[in-house]
């Protein structure tokens, strides 16, 4: 969703604001008066930080798992398309020529339209229309040799798998973390960082390093979740259309 440069800018701004907040607290409230109560608030800070760390880690694991599922599904869809291209060679004419052209058109549609449309949050239609044409082409085959009918049966199976993977891809593109979970992540991060910044310490340099480190870790985690949560947006981390580009290249070169 965000480029590398945008992620870096956000991280720098957040860390700068946090350090300014810590400096303001140190200026207007004596550090000595705060660290005298460390035994009273230390355990509360530990509970808050641990709770947010568990939630943050769980969310990061969830979006990363979903992202790997998206990448695998894209590979499977492209693989089914390549199998269709190969199986088209075993069909009788004119179905063979029509399916050959439709498979290539589908790859082109996914590369040129599906990814840009999904990046904008839309639903691509051209690839859906081409897949419908593929179904009509295969169903129109009524007779042929035993080998041709076997190729037809396998082609129908691969087309069914490809259609299922496409539907899964559209569903994955529309999935988002609920807003309430983003509030939990953001509010928890702000409370944790603010609590650490307000915590008294006899060594100001060490305290500043602790605040800086915690802020950097939480900010990077939230940015990673934001990117992985929208896998088809052209951000720093996104699902790659390369499997379809590779499939189209192999079709052009006629590589098995």
**CA distance from start to end of the chain:** 35
* pLDDT tens digit sequence for 202-256: 677 877 888 888 899 999 999 999 888 888 886 677 888 999 999 998 888 764 4
* pLDDT tens digit sequence for 94-143: 889 999 999 999 999 999 999 999 988 888 999 999 999 999 999 988 88
- Do 50 and 197 contact (CB within 8 A), yes or no? no
pLDDT value of position 40? 54
Structure tokens at 145: 């040799």
Structure tokens at 108: 């082109």
What's the domain range around 168?
4-253
Q: Interior CA angle at 80 toward 79 and 85, to 5°? A: 95
Report how far residue 125's alpha carbon sits from residue 250's, in angstroms, rounded to the nearest whole number: 25
Report how far residue 251's alpha carbon sits from residue 103's, in angstroms, rounded to the nearest whole number: 9
Nearest CA among 44, 34, 141 for reference residue 91: 141
Instruction: Provide the number of structural domains found in the chain.
Output: 1
Q: Would the pLDDT of 71 be above 80?
A: yes
Q: Would the pLDDT of 33 be above 60?
A: no
Report how far residue 81's alpha carbon sits from residue 104's, in angstroms, rounded to the nearest whole number: 9
Displacement of CA 212 from its chain's centroid (Å): 28
* pLDDT tens digit sequence for 237-250: 788 899 999 999 88
Q: What's this model's pTM, rounded to 2 decimal places?
A: 0.82
């Amino acid at each position: 969703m965000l480029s590398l440069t945008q992620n870096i800018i956000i991280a720098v701004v957040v860390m700068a604001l946090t350090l300014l907040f810590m400096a303001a607290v140190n200026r207007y409230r004596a550090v000595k008066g705060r660290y005298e109560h460390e035994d009273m608030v230390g355990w509360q800070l530990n509970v808050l930080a641990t709770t947010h760390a568990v939630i943050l880690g769980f969310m990061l694991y969830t979006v990363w798992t979903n992202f790997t599922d998206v990448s695998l599904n894209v590979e499977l869809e492209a693989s089914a398309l390549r199998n269709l291209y190969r199986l088209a060679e075993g069909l009788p004419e004119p179905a063979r020529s029509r399916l050959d052209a439709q498979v290539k058109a589908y790859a082109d549609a996914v590369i040129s339209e599906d990814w840009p449309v999904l990046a904008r949050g839309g639903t691509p239609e051209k690839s859906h229309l081409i897949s419908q044409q593929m179904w009509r082409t295969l169903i129109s085959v009524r007779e042929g040799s035993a080998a041709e009918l076997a190729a037809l049966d396998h082609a129908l199976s691969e087309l069914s798998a490809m259609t299922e993977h496409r539907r899964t891809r559209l569903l994955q593109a529309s999935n988002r973390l609920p807003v309430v979970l983003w509030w939990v992540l953001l509010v928890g991060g702000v409370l944790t960082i603010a609590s650490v910044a307000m915590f008294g310490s006899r060594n100001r340099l060490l305290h500043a390093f602790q605040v800086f480190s915690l802020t950097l870790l939480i900010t990077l985690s939230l940015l990673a979740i934001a990117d992985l949560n929208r896998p088809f947006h052209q951000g720093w981390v996104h699902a790659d259309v390369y499997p379809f580009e590779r499939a189209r290249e192999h079709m052009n070169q006629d590589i098995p």
